[in-house]
Structure 1
Amino acid sequence: MELWDTYDKERIKTGNTMVRGDSFPHGEYHMSVHVCLFNKEGQILIQHRQSTKSGWPDLWDLTAGGSATTGDSSQEAAERELFEELGISINLEHVRPHLTINFGNGFDDVYLVEKDVDLNDLVFQEEEVQDARWASLEEILDLVHKEKFVPYFESFIHLIFESRRQYGMIRLD
């Protein structure tokens, strides 16, 4: 049983918790996170989800992601998900998410991190991940078109590639 803290619309903890899978109380939300690891060549590390996953089975996805559990900060949840899914340790204690995307029952903090990782050093969470590889923007868009990638908006994929080295909405290069 996975417990989540709930938040109000201003992202302030309500003091309540809920069980993953239960109906959301009116006006309460939960936090999820995504970590997108980029290498120095500008490729992103993507993972191939297990065919037994309940959501988007057997599709490629961003580096790592999931829900914050009770007591997690956004950074702690991102660190935990990255380590659980791929065996990658990273310290995000002083890092802010590049993006926060609101969805029906919560908000999703997206971290864009540059870190070269040797694929041979990855340790897959057996229930979640079957493979991982580095991919370019074009390769991901090709997978999206072939319906082999989680169906994110193409504009979102472009945005994470364009925003990976800076915060904000104005291009600084």
Structure 2
Amino acid sequence: MDELIDVLDAEGNYTGKSIMKSEAHRKGVFHPSIHVWLYTKNGEILIQQRATNKDTHPGLWDVSVAGHIGAGEDVTESAIREVQEEIGLEISSKDLLKIGVFKYSHQHHKDLLDCEFHHTFLCELKVPLATLEMQESEVADLSLISIDKLEKELESKIHSKKYVPYDMDYYNTVLNAIKQRL
């Protein structure tokens, strides 16, 4: 779905301009997004398999919830909205812990350069996996994986290919932040 998003400079500052998401991806324009990593108190992380029709990383396993921040939309409100839309879970701002903003750039093909700043949150998952409702246009599957297993798979040359290729520093920052909350 195309939407109007804010334009950021290469340091992540808002420029006061907006652009359609499709144009930002075509031109490699930086824009803000949210990542919400949901975890359980017993050390499992909710991961989502991206729908196969997605233009970026189709079919790969990814952060629990991710999405673009609409033009002029509050970052936290965007995170709450995306969690509701993608997995049918109602949360509030008090459920979210922001752990940072991370620069990301990935050339998918000649007409798609994704340049984002991920506003990244943690949120404890307090409901059973079976109660979550996947947004079919975004999510192919949901799974809980232990932190240890995820770390091993991300370090494996074979198993890591099934995950979105974020920088390992990003993954390690997220996993360490979750471990501190357990």
- Sequence identity of aligned pairs in percent? 31
Partner of 1:36: 37
Partner of 2:118: 108
Aligned pair partner of 1:122 in 132, 137, 154: 132
Q: CA deviation at 1:93?
A: 6.1
Partner of 1:156: 170
Q: CA deviation at 1:128?
A: 1.1
Partner of 1:135: 145
SS at match of 1:56: coil
Aligned partners of 1:86, 1:23: CA distance in 2, in Å? 26
Q: In the TM superposition, what whole-angstrom CA distance separates every residue of 1:88-143 from its partner, at most 9, and x where no partner exists?
A: 11112685520211235341111012232211111111111121111112322454
| Conserved 8 A contact 2:80-2:90 | yes
Give 4+ residue runs of structure 1 displaced > 6 Å after superposition. Answer: none
Partner of 2:110: none
Q: CA deviation at 1:159?
A: 2.1
Tell me: CA distance 1:61–1:10, structure 2 relative to 1, closer, same or farther (3 Å).
closer
Aligned partners of 2:11, 2:52: CA distance in 1, in Å? 36
Q: In the TM superposition, what whole-angstrom CA distance separates every residue of 1:44-76 from its partner, at most 9, and x where no partner exists?
A: 111111222221111111100011011211111
Q: What are the ranges of 5 or more consecutive residues in structure 1 without an aligned counterpart?
A: 168-172
Tell me: CA distance 1:160–1:23, structure 2 relative to 1, closer, same or farther (3 Å).
closer
SS at match of 1:22: helix
Q: TM-score, normalised by structure 1?
A: 0.81
Tell me: CA distance 1:153–1:11, structure 2 relative to 1, closer, same or farther (3 Å).
closer
Tell me: CA distance 1:130–1:141, structure 2 relative to 1, closer, same or farther (3 Å).
same
Q: Does 158-167 or 84-93 show the bigger shift?
A: 158-167
Partner of 2:48: 47
Amino acid at match of 1:31: P
| Conserved 8 A contact 1:137-1:158 | no
The structure with the greater share of residues assigned to helix is 2
Aligned partners of 2:116, 2:6: CA distance in 1, in Å? 11
Q: CA deviation at 1:18?
A: 0.5
Tell me: CA distance 1:53–1:106, structure 2 relative to 1, closer, same or farther (3 Å).
closer
Considering only aligned residues, what root-mean-square deviation do their CA atoms show, in Å?
A: 2.7
| Conserved 8 A contact 2:6-2:72 | yes
SS at match of 1:21: helix
Q: TM-score, normalised by structure 2?
A: 0.78
Q: What are the ranges of 5 or more consecutive residues in structure 2 without an aligned counterpart?
A: 106-114
Amino acid at match of 1:125: Q
Q: When the two structures are aligned, how many residues end up with a matched partner? A: 166
The structure with the greater share of residues assigned to strand is 2
Partner of 2:111: none
Partner of 1:170: none
